[in-house]
């Protein structure tokens, strides 16, 4: 996906695994086991690794049906808030429903990059 010094989005830090990593790094910093600079490097590596794995390894597809509550487009980021959402996996047909879902969509290309 990216090479060199490209920055990656920090969206997945708010996922359950990203939150667990952040909490663990905070504990290690509090106990003086690591420096904050090292924790920031670990988080930057996490951002890169999760983006690459999701791009290269995940091939699952799903469809969903929902009512659009709100949407925004700001700084090249789309945010959709959906109500009464039903997801259906294409491979197994499993159906999952929920009251609310928030989708954040960012460009795969860095801002200002040539198309």
- What average pLDDT does this structure show over 42-48? 94
> pLDDT tens for residues 55-113?
888 888 888 999 999 999 998 889 999 999 999 988 777 889 999 999 988 876 655 55
**74 falls within a domain:** yes
CATH number at residue 80: 2.30.18.10
Parent domain of 73: 62-106
> pLDDT tens for residues 3-42?
445 677 788 898 899 999 999 999 999 999 999 999 999 9
- What average pLDDT does this structure show over 41-53? 92
**3 falls within a domain:** no
**37 falls within a domain:** yes
**50 falls within a domain:** yes
CATH number at residue 15: 1.10.287.190
DSSP string, 25-59: HHHHHHTTSS-HHHHHHHHHHHHHHHHHHHHHT--
């Amino acid at each position: 996906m990216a090479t060199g010094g490209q920055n990656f989005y920090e969206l997945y830090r708010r996922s359950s695994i990203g939150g667990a990593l952040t909490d663990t790094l905070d504990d290690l910093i509090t106990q003086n086991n690591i420096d904050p600079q090292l924790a920031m490097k670990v988080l930057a590596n996490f951002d890169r690794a999760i983006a690459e794995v999701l791009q290269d390894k995940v091939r699952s597809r799903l469809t969903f049906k929902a009512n659009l509550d709100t949407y925004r487009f700001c700084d090249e980021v789309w945010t959709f808030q959906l109500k009464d959402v039903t997801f259906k996996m294409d491979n197994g047909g499993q159906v999952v429903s929920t009251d609310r879902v928030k989708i954040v969509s960012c460009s795969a290309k860095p801002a200002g990059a040539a198309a």
